[in-house]
C-alpha cells in the first residue's frame, strides 16, 4: 500500500510565493511509486485540497483529513514545505503533534526557537569553533535604541527582523545617519530586531539532514553576490548572485564546517533538512554563524537541490529519505 502524504504549502506571510514554487517541485519530483501525494494549501481561514477539476475541498481541521466524493482520506504523514508562519515557526508542528501525524521538519520547540535569530545564537554560542558577530536584540522601536546601538556596537551594521526568513526588511548601515531608517524598515516586519556588527568574510550556505538514521552534511554553496549582501532580491532574482556548489574551501575548512554544522543540528534538536548560513572571516578563516533555516526552499534552483545533486544523489531519493525518516 502506498503511503498517503499531505504536501503542505501556502502560508500566512509574503514567503507563501516561494512556498508554492517549492511545493510544485516537490510534487513533480517525489516518488509516486511509493507515495500518493495531496497538495494542501494553507491560508488564513482557508485550508483546502484543490481537485483536478479546480474544486476546493476543505480540510477537516478536527483530524486533518479531506473527503473526495464518498472517500475520506487520512494522511500517513506530512511533507512540510510551508515557509514562514505557520509552517516554520512551530504552530503547525504543534497542531500535527496533537493529532499524532508525523511530519518532515523540526518539532514545535525547535521550530519556534530557530525562527528567533537572537535566541538561536544564544543556544549555539558555546559550540567549539563557532563564532558569533557582536549584536543587540531590540524589543521595540524606541528613540533610546539609537544611543544604545552607537554605544555598544561599531559600524558597519546589519539590521534585520529577528523572526522570519527570505531577508525581507534587512538593511546594511554604513553610517549612523542610515540607522533610523534601517530600524524603521526592520520593525515594520517584526516587533524584535537584531542589530549586528558586519563580518568581512566569504558567505556560504550548507544543507544538513537526517536520513537512514544518520546526520548527513551536504556540500556547501558559496554565495557571491553583485549586491553588498544576500537580501531578498539577491536570493530570488536571476543573475544577481553567483552560487558556487561545492563552495571554494580547502580540506581543513570543509572538515571544520562539517563538524560545526553537525553540532548545530544536534544542539538545536533538528529534524529533516535544514540550511545553515555562515561566513568564513577573510583574515582568520573563522566560522561565523549567521542563521538556520528549518524549512529551506526546494525550487529547481534552490541551494539544497544544488547541494543534493553535487553530492551525487537524486533529489527524488533525498525526498524519500526525508519522508521515511519521519516514520522512524
Tens digits of pLDDT across the chain (328 residues): 899 999 999 999 888 999 999 999 999 999 999 999 999 999 999 999 998 888 999 999 999 999 998 999 999 999 999 998 999 999 999 999 999 999 999 999 999 999 988 899 999 999 999 999 999 999 988 989 999 999 999 999 999 888 755 467 889 999 999 999 999 999 998 888 999 999 989 999 999 999 999 999 999 999 997 655 544 444 545 566 789 999 999 999 999 999 999 999 999 999 999 999 999 999 999 999 999 999 999 988 889 999 999 999 999 999 999 999 999 9
What's the number of CA atoms in the CB half-sphere (13 Å) around residue 263?
A: 15
β partners of residue 291 = 277
166 is a catalytic site residue: yes
* CA 18/CA 202 separation, integer angstroms: 26
Nearest one of 252, 249, 245, 256 to 221, comparing CA atoms = 245
Residue of 16, 167, 302, 305 with catalytic role:
302
Nearest one of 316, 307, 302 to 206, comparing CA atoms = 307
Model pLDDT, residue 168: 75
Would you give the distance in Å from CA 232 to the centre of its chain?
A: 13
Contact (CB, 8 A) for 128 and 143: no
Q: Which helix (H) or strand (E) holds 35?
A: strand 35-43
Q: How many CB atoms lie within 10 A of CB 190?
A: 18
DSSP state for residue 301 in the 8-state scheme:
T
* CA 132/CA 291 separation, integer angstroms: 10
Model pLDDT, residue 229: 52
Q: Crossing angle, helix 179-187 and helix 144-152, to 10 degrees?
A: 120
H runs (alpha helix) in 247-314? 251-267, 303-310
Report the CATH architecture of 135-197.
Answer: 2-Layer Sandwich (3.30)
Q: Match 506530512 to its residue by C-alpha cell.
A: 78
Residue of 85, 166, 171, 205 with catalytic role:
166
Consult the annotation and say whether 291 binds a ligand: yes
Query: DSSP for 21-34?
Result: HHHHHHHHHS-TTT
Model pLDDT, residue 50: 93
* CA 153/CA 146 separation, integer angstroms: 11
Q: Which CATH number is 3-105 given? A: 3.40.50.20
Domain-by-domain residue ranges, the chain?
Answer: 3-105, 135-197
15 is a catalytic site residue: yes
Model pLDDT, residue 225: 77
Consult the annotation and say whether 277 binds a ligand: yes
Amino acid at each position: 500500500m502506498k503511503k498517503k502524504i499531505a504536501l503542505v504549502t501556502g502560508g500566512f506571510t509574503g514567503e507563501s510565493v516561494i512556498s508554492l514554487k517549492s511545493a510544485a517541485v516537490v510534487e513533480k519530483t517525489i516518488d509516486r511509486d511509493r507515495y500518493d501525494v495531496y497538495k494542501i494549501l494553507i491560508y488564513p481561514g482557508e485550508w483546502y485540497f484543490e481537485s483536478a477539476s479546480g474544486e476546493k475541498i476543505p480540510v477537516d481541521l478536527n483530524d486533518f483529513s479531506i473527503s473526495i466524493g464518498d472517500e475520506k482520506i487520512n494522511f500517513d504523514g506530512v511533507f512540510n514545505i510551508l515557509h514562514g508562519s505557520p509552517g516554520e515557526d512551530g504552530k503547525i508542528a504543534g497542531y500535527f503533534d496533537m493529532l499524532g501525524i508525523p511530519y518532515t521538519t523540526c518539532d514545535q520547540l525547535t521550530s519556534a526557537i530557530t525562527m528567533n535569530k537572537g535566541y538561536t545564537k544564544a543556544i549555539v554560542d558555546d559550540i567549539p569553533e563557532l563564532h558569533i558577530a557582536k549584536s543587540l536584540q531590540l524589543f521595540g522601536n524606541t528613540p533610546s535604541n539609537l544611543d544604545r546601538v552607537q554605544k555598544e556596537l561599531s559600524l558597519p551594521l546589519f539590521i534585520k527582523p529577528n523572526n522570519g526568513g527570505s531577508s525581507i526588511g534587512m538593511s546594511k548601515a554604513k553610517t549612523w545617519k542610515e540607522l533610523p531608517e534601517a530600524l524603521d524598515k526592520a520593525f515594520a516586519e517584526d516587533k524584535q530586531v537584531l542589530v549586528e556588527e558586519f563580518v568581512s568574510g566569504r558567505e556560504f550556505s550548507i544543507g544538513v539532514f537526517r536520513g537512514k538514521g544518520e546526520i548527513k552534511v551536504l556540500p556547501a554553496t558559496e554565495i557571491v553576490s553583485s549586491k553588498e549582501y544576500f537580501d531578498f532580491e539577491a536570493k530570488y532574482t536571476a543573475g544577481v548572485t553567483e552560487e558556487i556548489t561545492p563552495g571554494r574551501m580547502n580540506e581543513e575548512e570543509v572538515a571544520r564546517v562539517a563538524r560545526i554544522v553537525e553540532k548545530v543540528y544536534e544542539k538545536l534538536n533538528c529534524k529533516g533538512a535544514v540550511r545553515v548560513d555562515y561566513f568564513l572571516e577573510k583574515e582568520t578563516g573563522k566560522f561565523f554563524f549567521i542563521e538556520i533555516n528549518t524549512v529551506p526552499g526546494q525550487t529547481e534552483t534552490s541551494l539544497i537541490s544544488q547541494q543534493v545533486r553535487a553530492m551525487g544523489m537524486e533529489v527524488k531519493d533525498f525526498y524519500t529519505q526525508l519522508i521515511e525518516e519521519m516514520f522512524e
